[in-house]
Structure 1
């Protein structure tokens, strides 16, 4: 098992500390030409044992002539969107706070569609063992909390939870977030290498089915239903490939609505089939626990409030200058043609199951 990394939460700034010049050089190669030229291949990073909305959209045939090219897996949203910003991939997805931070570092990116969120079925919980003495926010002082990456969704939830329960900044700093790969979090918690483990989606439900753990709190309990993360593309890519962007974003939107309307068993079966056919030496067993992508808005459309919360949070931490970015400037719904009646809209029913294999 990989060793746990006791990384300072402030080291996230280093991850996103790319210069404007580096971003410019990276995106110069990512558009497939100048003017209105169109690329039909989108490079991306996946997630082991899971099916992203982009992959689901492609398999459903909703990406039409646009093809996805997998270049590897990631467990970190900040790393994924940095790869997109520097032109190593053509799109990436992350927690909206990470998108705010990258944009505040003058990376020329735009969020184009929400791809995950929190609802009654899809949420991240902070779990402890049944016999753990941890019962309250104050009990987290001096404790190790395992999460997939720092400076992103899980650390934001932890900070907000501790703040709302009256802990001072000095006390909050004594809680110790640690980087633990999601597939190892349950094991690390059960072996008492960490005191708290952040578990979400199918990994959470698998751990709950095994038993012996209980939630301290969840992000749904903390904030209610909300879209939490977005796919981003560079402004250069959007300018050079508007047709590709529209096909991609609208296709993902259609996949979101298909996942809501299709029977859960059909969605799980489709995802399991996708994992089996892509031959990446991964275990698809946890997919049977999938319930929802948790996206709040129809077709993944983005609203100001999905970014404003994180602008305020990051500014309060001193990570960004509040007036350096605006919520409305961080995203566009221009390329989301779902339900608009255009050529790439959801003219077909969301329950279409035609395969794009």
Structure 2
């Protein structure tokens, strides 16, 4: 675990990239001349199958190949790698995307890739015998999460605000970085008081028992797309056909995962993990239920970004009017699901009471 005395002061500042750093990125476009790259470098997540990996296995990427360069546990780090040209795409919580763009980083969100619904959500769990029952009980407590300055910390912040805590009181809650595969163990060992658990790791922990939810992001904001894959404007300009193949394939993979029997999706993911040889345990995949993307084929409406523009401006992390949602995303490269949003996916509001 990593702890810092200035967690809140450093909130989202790990995305403080300079325009110089971005312009010096060595994106593997292969487009100096006639050819566009047909290989996309990316980071994965241990024990999980990302939507691009699923799309590749389903054949939706056609002749575009994925080149795995390692794993990450941090969305902000992932999109920073894409912005500086170390990878060709990256994904993060939409608030982190907004913050990166506010630092004059020339990126575009191209498709939503995860979100919260009744199956796919992040829960904030405590031990059954914990005295923690409310937001105010979190003062002075440690909350373990995958990374700082992203989805988990933002949801915690909103929960504390709605619980009536002042900014000074919120500062006394301690978000800590804990690798996702170790978070449940850290909670049970009482190294932290609250564990942020999502997806298959959450359901595995619940199956073991002995923990209870304090709150979930689905309870807090309802169903919403929470994160986007981004590419640099330079990459999109130099490799438009590759980008279109990639984004459309991811959109098709989202719909395949929705419409295919769950057991079949899990079986396919399990085979992917076994074949790729990264020394991972595929057993937790049996708990997979949804990627949680709200809109058809991951198409971006802008509302899921505006939510965090408003929230970050209210916090003082960005200036009001510093960024405009329409400048942050494009659906140009997503040929899948042109029908728009699903009826059950209204954009949430961070400033009103949740369900």
Is 2:298 aligned against 1:277? no
Structure 1 length normalisation: TM-score?
Answer: 0.92
Distance in structure 2 (CA, Å) of the matches to 1:58 and 1:135 = 44
Is 2:14 aligned against 1:15? yes
Superposed CA deviations along residues 274-312 of structure 1, whole A, max 9, x for unmatched, are: 000000011111100000000000000001110111111
Per the alignment, do residues 188 and 4 of structure 1 end up closer, same or farther by CA in structure 2, a change over 3 Å counting? Answer: farther
Distance in structure 2 (CA, Å) of the matches to 1:6 and 1:87 = 29
What is the deviation of 1:322? 2.2
Matched residue, 1:321: 319
Quote the RMSD (CA, aligned, Å): 1.4
Structure 2 length normalisation: TM-score?
Answer: 0.93
Matched residue, 1:146: 144
Matched residue, 2:24: 25
Is 2:266 aligned against 1:268? yes
* Number of aligned residue pairs: 338
Distance in structure 1 (CA, Å) of the matches to 2:338 and 2:131 = 53
Superposed CA deviations along residues 19-51 of structure 1, whole A, max 9, x for unmatched, are: 101101105x43212366311000000000000
Matched residue, 1:166: 164
Distance in structure 1 (CA, Å) of the matches to 2:213 and 2:196 = 9
Matched residue, 1:244: 242
Q: Which runs of 5+ in 1 are unaligned?
A: 342-357
What is the deviation of 1:338? 0.9
| Helix, strand or coil at the partner of 1:11 | coil
Q: Confirm or deny: 8 A CA contact 1:307 1:327 kept in the other structure.
A: yes
Matched residue, 2:342: none
Matched residue, 1:310: 308
Superposed CA deviations along residues 98-125 of structure 1, whole A, max 9, x for unmatched, are: 0000000011000000000000000000
Distance in structure 2 (CA, Å) of the matches to 1:241 and 1:266 = 34
What is the deviation of 1:319? 1.1
Q: Confirm or deny: 8 A CA contact 1:36 1:240 kept in the other structure.
A: no
What is the deviation of 1:147? 0.6
Distance in structure 2 (CA, Å) of the matches to 1:286 and 1:93 = 22
1:82-231 aligned within 5 A: 82-231=80-229
Residue in structure 2 matching 1:301, options 288, 299, 302? 299
| Helix, strand or coil at the partner of 1:322 | coil
Matched residue, 1:345: none
Q: Which runs of 5+ in 2 are unaligned?
A: 340-355
